[in-house]
Amino acid sequence: MPLMKCKCSHDDHVVAASMQNATNITARTKKIAPLLVEHPHNQHSSNNTISSKCYDCWRGPTAAAAAAHCHPPTTTHTTNANENHSLWRHFSLLFLPKSAACAGNKVVSKSGRHHHTGVGGGGGSLASVNITLFLLINLLLKTCCGQLLINVQNQGGEVIQESITSNVSEDLITLEFQKTDGTLITQIIDFRNEVRILKALVLGEEERGQNLYQVMCFVTKFIKGDFISSDAMAKLRQKNPSTIRTPEDDKGKDTFTMTSWVHLNRSQPISRHLMTVCSEAIDATYVRDVDLKAWSELPGSSISSLEAATEKFPDTLSSRCNEVSSLWAPCICTLETCIGWYPCGLKYCKGKAVGDSSAAAAAASNYRCGIKTCRKCSLFSYYVRQKQQCLWDE
């Protein structure tokens, strides 16, 4: 059935004026606060919930699509209540008259000197249209992509772009970037379960019989204090997005020897996000026994449910993949990746205590004034059934 077009009594110059007004409002909402400090209007805001689903393009479905068609999303921030109100007014001016006319209403909305009138011939309800649009627009504002895009210089002098998003309601932080060799790295921090998921999408060597790409997930225990909270992350802004960043502190390299596979269909006790994030790594999601034991000590967890979600590697000793000649022999693969820049802590500045020079007053006057940034590498060792799955480790 062809789409029906609604005719409204807008004059072309009125619509153009409304569009210009909307452009001005949108431009105002893109102004952000100084470099990587808390936005003053966001101190007690809960409207910073950011959906990590905005980056499905970066995560797949194929590496070719990711490399050829995906571009880092533009920087957009859900800001304070006043700006949300302006955006709501902007959308109302554009869409409310048309929707009401289709429903059979007469609507008059005002913005400054512009009057917008839509006339319909039925008995629809203006209130229902208004409420529907309000709910839809607020949903879009709360779930739209809001992130920091950071230009980072790696140790080789090359510049890559990281995107860091925060989902306050889920207590998650997602950090993503593409390495110069095309590998896509996604790091998810699940604060509630103290879980870090690092997903690597590695392009395959088709001329050597590999698939177009392969995906691995490495699940480890998150160390508290190694990343700022999701709430603090949601409040960060940067003044100059084009600036190339370098970290203040290099935290070196952590080595992880994985011991088991994770069965994604039973991975809920570890993190309910594993099934979604690692859906393309059904047979290549790895975990360590030491982390299972650490998670079992958390409230509501048990070692039995955690172990039921995993399967141990074979007991037979295997050589490193770079020491194995046969492409079809099992071996121990290694994969190293580095997060070149991330906010690893908050900085506090001292304020002046008015009328009270006590130590308690001085401590109470301290305020958050910035972040500490770090760099860290991770080296993962894990069992593969065939060297063919680890051709980069040669």
Give the model's pLDDT for residue 132: 56
345: confidence class by pLDDT, cuts 50, 70, 90 = very high
Give the model's pLDDT for residue 77: 37
Question: Which whole number is the average pLDDT over 103-125?
Answer: 38
What percentage of the chain carries pLDDT values higher than 90? 49
Higher pLDDT, 87 or 274: 274
71: confidence class by pLDDT, cuts 50, 70, 90 = very low
Give the model's pLDDT for residue 337: 96
170: confidence class by pLDDT, cuts 50, 70, 90 = very high
Give the model's pLDDT for residue 50: 35
Q: Is the pLDDT of residue 297 over 90?
A: yes
SS3 labels along the chain: CCCCCCCCCCCHHHHHHHHHHHHHHHHHHCCCCCCCCECHHHCCCCCCCCCHHHHHHHHCCCHHHHHHHCCCCCCCCCCCHHHHHHHHHHHHHHHHHHHHHHHCCCEEEEECCEEEEECCCCCCCHHHHHHHHHHHHHHHHHHCCCEEEEEEECCCCCEEEEEEEEECCCCEEEEEEECCCCCEEEEEEECCCCEEEEEEEEECCHHHCCCCEEEEEEEEECCCCCCCCHHHHHCECCCCCCCEECCCEEEEEEEEECCEEECHHHCCCCCCCHHHHCCCCCCCEEECHHHHHHHHCCCCCCHHHHHHCEEECCCCCCCEHHHCCCCCCCEEEEEEEEEEEEEEEEEEECCCCCCCCCHHHHHHCCEEEEEEEEEEEEEEEEEECCHHHHCCCC
- pLDDT by residue (tens digit) across 172-197? 999 999 999 999 999 999 999 999 99
Give the model's pLDDT for residue 358: 62
